[in-house]
Copies of this chain bind each other. A is one copy, B any other.
Amino acid sequence: MDKTDWKLLKEIADLEKTPQGAYNIRVNGQMDSRSTTANIDITTKTDGKSGIDIRVKPGTKKESVHIPVIIHATGFTELVYNDFFIGEDCDIDIVAGCGIHNTGCETAQHDGLHTFYIGKNSKVRYVERHYGEGEGTGERIFNPQTVVYLEEGASIQMETTQIRGVDSTKRDTKIVVGKNAEAVITEKLLTHGSQTAESDMEIILDGEGASGRVISRSVAQEESKQIFYPKMTGNNKCFGHVQCDSIIMGNAQVSSIPAIVANHVDAQLIHEAAIGRIAGDQLLKLMTLGLTEEEAEEKILDGFLQ
């Protein structure tokens, strides 16, 4: 791993050195390094598919798994399957993410399918960051697919971030929420240039007392295009809330097409969406404090995307 790799690792996983706990670092499709713990095992798939299985023993608490992926070979594309088997009564952090440094003229692409089986009463915090850079003309493409099954009383807090440098992305997220289980998704997305981003989500509130929350915040700059399809389905006594806010700039285009589907009399579902430009008075206020228009804009966008 060279300096560029470490820079990518910092961007996608906030790592400045080898992480503590379990980890698996993948570079250009090959395992770079791996560490397991007494409670968390990581094994290379043996069924012919590329990817790893992560198994977390019941009762594992306050441990973390880092599984960053780095690509710096232009023309390199991969499809990776990672499966997470989380036992009962766990409380763990999983940090994934992929960074592409493309200096060439060919497409570099990472497609990942992550499947989570989360046992009874377990809590998982799942963080996924996508980042692209490199002076090459080759495209940087991510198509992440995430499927989560939450058993009774389990919860996932999923935070996905894509800030700059990704030419094209199509995100697919599906979460099946069991009895008294909870799914919270926070999505942050910024596109610029002629980038395109599509995010499909389906939260199925299947168990009695299931709850789901989606908070999607996006900024579309220049000529970029974004489209969102968040869907929340209530099949039982449940509560679901979808909130999508987008800031539109330049000649960008944003479509927000949510769906709330109530198949049960005790399903309570709410959706809110807003698309608009940065408020003029907010800009003005910051500019009277001495910021240039560009600085003021950046400040507001930072705050919006936290």
Interface residues of A (CB under 8 A from B): 234, 246, 248-263, 265-277
CB-based closest 6 A-B pairs: A257-B259, A268-B276, A262-B275, A271-B273, A255-B261, A269-B275
Which secondary structure dominates chain A's binding surface?
A: strand
Asked whether B270 lies within 8 Å of A248 as measured between CB atoms, the reply is no
Known contacts being A267-B275, A268-B276, A271-B273, is A255 close to B248, with CB within 8 Å?
Answer: no
Asked whether B246 lies within 8 Å of A265 as measured between CB atoms, the reply is no
Task: From the candidates B269, B272, B277, name the one contacting A265 in the complex (CB within 8 A).
Answer: B277
- The complex is assembled from copies of this chain, and their number is 2
A199 to chain B: closest CB distance in Å? 14
Asked whether A248 lies within 8 Å of B262 as measured between CB atoms, the reply is yes
Task: From the candidates B253, B262, B268, B271, name the one contacting A271 in the complex (CB within 8 A).
Answer: B271
Asked whether A260 lies within 8 Å of B273 as measured between CB atoms, the reply is yes
Known: A255-B259, A256-B259. 5 other contacts (CB 8 A): A248-B267, A252-B265, A256-B271, A258-B271, A270-B273
Find the B residue at minimum CB distance from A245.
B270
Give me 24 A-to-B residue pairs in the complex whose CB atoms sit less than 8 angstroms apart, sorted by A's number.
Answer: A248-B262, A249-B265, A254-B261, A254-B262, A255-B259, A255-B260, A255-B262, A256-B259, A256-B261, A256-B271, A258-B271, A260-B273, A265-B277, A266-B277, A267-B275, A267-B276, A268-B274, A268-B275, A269-B273, A269-B274, A269-B276, A271-B273, A271-B274, A272-B272
